[in-house]
Amino acid sequence: MQFEEYRNLWVFVETEENTAKSVGYELLSPGRVLADKMGGKLVAVVIGGNVKDVAEKTIDYGADEVILVEGDEYFNYSTDAYSYAMKTLVEKYKPSTILIGATNNGRDLGPKMACDLNTGLTADCTMLDYDTETGNMIWTRPAFGGNLMAMILCPDNRPQLGTVRPGIFKKPEPVTGKIGTMIYEDIHIAPENIRTKLLDRIKEVAEAVNLEEAEIIVSGGRGVGSPEGFEIIRRLAEELNATVGASRAVVDAGWMPHAHQVGQTGKTVSPKLYIACGISGAIQHSAGITGSDCIVAINKDEEAPIFDVADYGIVGDLFTVIPELIKEIQKLNA
């Protein structure tokens, strides 16, 4: 085998202010399946300021081993510090594959690692598989605005790197007391080699629209008719304590900010309840909501593709249906 020295599958579990981002735990779910397929271990990598508890939780979520790197220089993310730590670890342990969450930081770290390690990177993946015959990961990601799904291989270099969208996979059920190995690595970088410094953290509107972790989402599409038409979507969301989403058509029309966009070219979501109002259900939108536990579609076109993925469908005008829904929800709440 050309790459027999490269083994195991790594999941980078991103932390922020000593707390794990949900996507890191999510990736341990497909990571388990893929590691078993390749006959290797599932290894979590945790880097941060004081994150031993995060490292321990990765074992509860299914990791066989966790590599922990701690230091004051890792309390806030920086490209220089994190990429240096990852490069040092990869050169020592030689993993075959590394999964990274496609967060803002993950989308920064992945390309830097690919450059440092002279390997390829597949960004924004939505499906993952492993070819046992060739040892290649099969990375699937949307292309051409979500109208085509591309399958990408990295046959000539190791490790194989990919960033994966948050919300694609569900977190595995934690098993308290699961046995795993904790490996401490003492890696530090001189302050003068970190070229950026975090001065302040500003919570923007985009961060407030947390679609990836929302339990209930009410989304509006072109059928809402206008920016003013979204008022009824907001009212329904308010009654359900839900987050407001939007289709690509709505965002392209300027009716809603991009932070609300659901779909392959927006946010991939997996809430307990997803209500699609006036959304036709184009492939790029439907593929972004398939992780939802329950999908309810409201559309006056009974032939709309959204009904193919919905668990419950209501054929009717959303401006007639939603007020009735609101009334019933208010009765239940009372």
Where do the structural domains in the chain lie, given as residue ranges? 7-193, 205-333
Does 101 count as an annotated binding residue?
Answer: no
pTM: 0.76
**Confidence grade of residue 1 (pLDDT, cut at 50, 70, 90):** low
CA-CA distance, 44 to 65, in Å (whole number)? Answer: 6
- Is 330 annotated in a binding site? The answer is no
Domains 7-193 and 205-333 share a fold: yes
Tell me the per-residue pLDDT of 53-65, one tens digit each, with 9 for 90 and over: 999 999 999 999 9
- The answer to the question of whether 141 is labelled as a binding residue is no
Residue 78 known to bind ligand: no
Q: What is the pLDDT of residue 67?
A: 98
User: Which among 173, 107, 140 has a CA at the least distance from the CA of 287?
Assistant: 140
In the CATH scheme, what is the code of domain 205-333?
3.40.50.1220
47 annotated ligand binder:
no
Fold of 7-193: Rossmann fold (3.40.50)
165 labelled as ligand-binding?
no
- Three-class DSSP category at 187: coil
Q: Is 285 annotated as a binding residue?
A: yes
pLDDT at 126: 87
Question: What was the pLDDT predicted at 49?
Answer: 92
280 annotated among ligand-binding-site residues: yes
* pLDDT over 90, % of the chain: 76
Q: What pLDDT sits at residue 91?
A: 97
Round to whole Å and give the CA distance between 234 and 238: 6
Q: What pLDDT is attached to residue 142?
A: 79
Spacing of C-alpha 6 from chain mean position: 26
Quote the pLDDT of residue 87. Answer: 98
Q: Where are the alpha helices (DSSP H) in the chain?
A: 22-38, 52-60, 79-93, 104-117, 205-208, 230-240, 248-252, 283-286, 306-309, 318-333
CA-CA distances (angstroms) from residue 36 to 39, 67, 174, 212, 253? 5, 19, 18, 27, 45
69 annotated to bind ligand: no
